[in-house]
Chain A
Amino acid sequence: DQQVKQNSPSLSVQEGRISILNCDYTNSMFDYFLWYKKYPAEGPTFLISISSIKDKNEDGRFTVFLNKSAKHLSLHIVPSQPGDSAVYFCAASDRGSQGNLIFGKGTKLSVKP
Chain B
Amino acid sequence: EAGVTQFPSHSVIEKGQTVTLRCDPISGHDNLYWYRRVMGKEIKFLLHFVKESKQDESGMPNNRFLAERTGGTYSTLKVQPAELEDSGVYFCASSQLVAAPLHFGNGTRLTVT
Contact bitstring A6-48, B, C-beta under 8 A = 1, else 0: 0000000000000000000000000010101000011111100
Stretch at the interface among B11-19, B43-51, B60-68, B75-83: B43-51
Would you give the shortest CB distance from B87 to chain A, in whole angstroms?
Answer: 16
Which residue of chain A has its CB nearest to the CB of B91? A43
Would you give the shortest CB distance from A40 to chain B, in whole angstroms?
Answer: 10
A98 touches B55 (CB 8 A): yes
Q: Is residue B2 contacting chain A, with contact meaning CB distance below 8 A?
A: no
How many A-B contacts if CB must be within 8 Å?
A: 52
B102 touches A46 (CB 8 A): yes
A100 touches B101 (CB 8 A): no
Measured CA separation A70–B99 after assembly (Å):
23
Contact flag A100-B56 (CB < 8 Å), given A34-B101, A43-B4, A93-B99:
yes
What are the residues of chain A within 8 A of B91 when measuring CB–CB?
Answer: 43-44
Contact flag A105-B42 (CB < 8 Å), given A41-B106, A43-B107:
yes
Residues of B in contact with A (beta carbons under 8 Å apart):
4, 33, 35, 40-45, 48, 55-56, 58-59, 91, 93, 98-99, 101-107
Residues of A in contact with B (beta carbons under 8 Å apart):
2, 4, 32, 34, 36, 41-46, 49, 89, 93, 95, 98-106
